[in-house]
Chain A
Amino acid sequence: MTTESPILEMHDVRYRWPGRTSFGLEIPVFRIAAGETVLLLGESGSGKSTLLSLICGTVTPASGSVSVAGTDIATLSAGQRDSFRAEQIGLIFQQFNLLPYASVLDNILLPLRFAPMRRNRLASPHQAAADLCDDLGLPAHTVRARAGTLSVGQQQRVAAARALIGAPPLIVADEPTSALDAATQTTFLELLFAQARAHNSTLLMVSHDARLADQFDRVAEMSDVVTARRAAA
């Protein structure tokens, strides 16, 4: 189920990495409706990481607006952007996603440390983390295990649980399946979709693997979204 109100809206965004004159990108319009699952396809170097950094507010555009859940994050201070990210966005990376020395439980609960509203949505964060692990097919005893001792597939599920805990409105996944084999990829995506729906979260996944396309509500090509400029500006 998708609704029409946008969870992410980017307008006339222009960005250039500080100190670099040779690379910048422009995003005329990019919108994702709440509850949508969107696959953003793009090759390496197409500006995917920069786009995600703009959405997450770790970098700010030179001009234009980036709105997440109705808030233009460019208007927030650096500290406010960090808190906003913690509250509104659940992140899953390609790999090396977890703090290997910390327990699975601590990894899952980590974003709540910086997101009091997300934490307050949960009656018992520990129980919520255990339930998510269960829903994502992780054995109960893994909750206490050190994250570094899990298989890559299990680690990605823990990363998914960490992104989903406290039901942030937007889940951003940066090539989360690239380190997984085909069978594990399918299972992981099925679980991720199911949980994103269960938590009413919107899912934006970035990948270079077009085979995943038919599992998403919508597919966008990076080249359609972003104009990367490599010539000297």
Chain B
Amino acid sequence: MILRLAFASLMARALTVAMTILAIALSVALFLGVEKVRTGAKASFADTISGTDLIVGARSGSVQLLLYSVFRIGNATNNMTWESYRDIEARPDVDWIVPVSLGDSHRQFRVMGTTTAFFDRYKYRSGQSLSIRDGQVMDDLFDTVIGADVAETLGYETGDPIVVAHGLASFIEHDYQPFRVSGILAKTGTPVDRTVIVSLKAIEAIHVDWQSGVKIPGQSTPVDVIRQLDLEPQAVTAALIGVKSRLQVFGLQRAINEYQQEPLLAILPGVALQELWQIVGIAETALIAVSGMVVVTALIGMMATIFASLNERRREMAIFRAMGARPRTITGLLVLEAALMAALGAVIGLALLYVGLAIAQPVVDRAFGLWLPVEAPTLREFSVLAGVVCAGVIVSMVPAVRAYRMSLADGMMVRI
């Protein structure tokens, strides 16, 4: 009965209570949303590369190498020579090696030169392989396979011609060597979706008339002639390596890091990711703290609402007292009311989160390549919700103690 009366009392102040609940709900949705984006981003990053034991590039920072080679974020400061690449490839402990050559772009998307082994060796999300949605892998020198987002954003279909630009955000195009879309990859939720993949030889082919990053004036070798040239690359940006036995990973890593002919860096993708989390950890904490403060603010708002209602509810409290309710029952009623508001706010917040996720999921994926999974709430999320209700109860103690004192002083005689 007391629960029913507390609920009826809330309903009698529906507008104020609804506003308070909405504030709590929005803050909870924001807090959980930040959590979802944070864990989604982490999972998305962690899912991007799987099955690769080492990544090798020119000596720089391990996080930098991971970011540019796998996530296409930032640029390589240097390349590794083809000789070094071949040396590593020839090592007995190396099972497979896939070169990655970056530096050019098509519109807003990066172009990656590699071999067809990339399509077999690159794995994501616990060992899933890439699959061709439409067409086939590169067959001709000027064939390209494009990621799902490239095709969707630019409206490309197999057979369409595309022209690669030199460098990033550049107006100089390799327009004498147009490519043809030979295949479109299925969506992966990784940076591959936003990559234009060409053969390693194609990267060399479009740079035939270039020297030291600058086009040689007046020179434009015909495509037919290019096809006849020896297009072995001189350098690659990085390489993905799989070892024959996991036990050999550290030995190979050390050997590459101590490679005498060229300063190279070999990293374990998982370890580099951990380093990345450590770097972004501070920002993450700040983000959580800010969204946590929003929840606290909403709960303080609820406390203010309860405080504001105390005076107009002195008669109600006096009636309870006259009927034999103890002051602590009055206190309990207010705490119960706060718990109800906080619980409703938490549940509505959770619902808002899922509605928001359902709406934002495709938009965020398209805009940022971040896949936010719509999954059942985790134990952590449930504990956040329970925490909000507990915090609501604690915060309500302040007006509840005031109500206790008021009801002791007023007794059952209030003349308003």
| Chain B positions within 8 Å of A86 at CB level | 323-324
Given contacts A102-B5, A113-B1, contact A59 B411 (CB under 8 A): yes
Question: A109 touching B1 by the CB < 8 A rule?
Answer: yes
Q: 1/0 contact trace for A167-211 toward B, CB 8 Å?
A: 000000000000000000000000000000000000000000000
Tell me whether A99 and B4 are in contact in the complex, defined as CB-CB below 8 angstroms, given that A58-B321, A59-B411 are known contacts: no
Q: B residues within 8 A CB of A96?
A: 315, 416
Docked Cα-Cα span, A111 to B5, in Å, equals: 13
Task: Determine if B11 is an interface residue (Cβ-Cβ < 8 Å).
Answer: yes
Is B9 in the interface zone, CB < 8 Å from A? yes
Q: Shortest CB–CB separation between residue A1 and chain B, in angstroms?
A: 28
B8 to A, closest residue via Cβ: A101
B322 within 8 Å of A (CB atoms): yes
* Interface pick from A49-57, A64-72, A218-226: A49-57
Interface size of A in residues (CB-CB distance below 8 Å): 32
Given contacts A82-B325, A113-B323, contact A99 B5 (CB under 8 A): yes
> Quick check: A106 and B1 within 8 Å, CB to CB?
yes
Q: How far is the CB of B215 from chain A (nearest CB, A)?
A: 81
Complexed CA–CA distance, A106 and B2 (Å): 10
Q: A227 at the A/B interface (Cβ < 8 Å)?
A: no
Contacts of A99 in B (CB 8 A): 5, 8-9, 316, 319
Complex Cα spacing A125 to B52, Å: 74
Find residues 299-336 in chain B having any chain A CB closer than 8 Å to their own CB. Answer: 315-316, 319-327, 329
Interface residues of B in 1-37 (CB under 8 A from A): 1-2, 4-5, 8-9, 11-12
How many angstroms from the CA of A53 to the CA of B5 in the assembled complex? 25
Chain A residues numbered 84-103 whose CB sits less than 8 Å from any CB in chain B: 85-87, 91, 93, 96-103
The one of B8, B323, B327 that contacts A114, using a Cβ cutoff of 8 Å: B323
Pairs A-B, 9 closest by C-beta atoms = A86-B324, A58-B411, A114-B324, A101-B12, A111-B323, A101-B8, A82-B326, A91-B322, A49-B413
> 9 A-B residue contacts at CB 8 Å?
A93-B322, A93-B412, A96-B315, A99-B8, A102-B9, A110-B319, A111-B324, A113-B1, A162-B323
B-side interface residues toward A, CB under 8 Å? 1-2, 4-5, 8-9, 11-12, 315-316, 319-327, 329, 411-413, 416
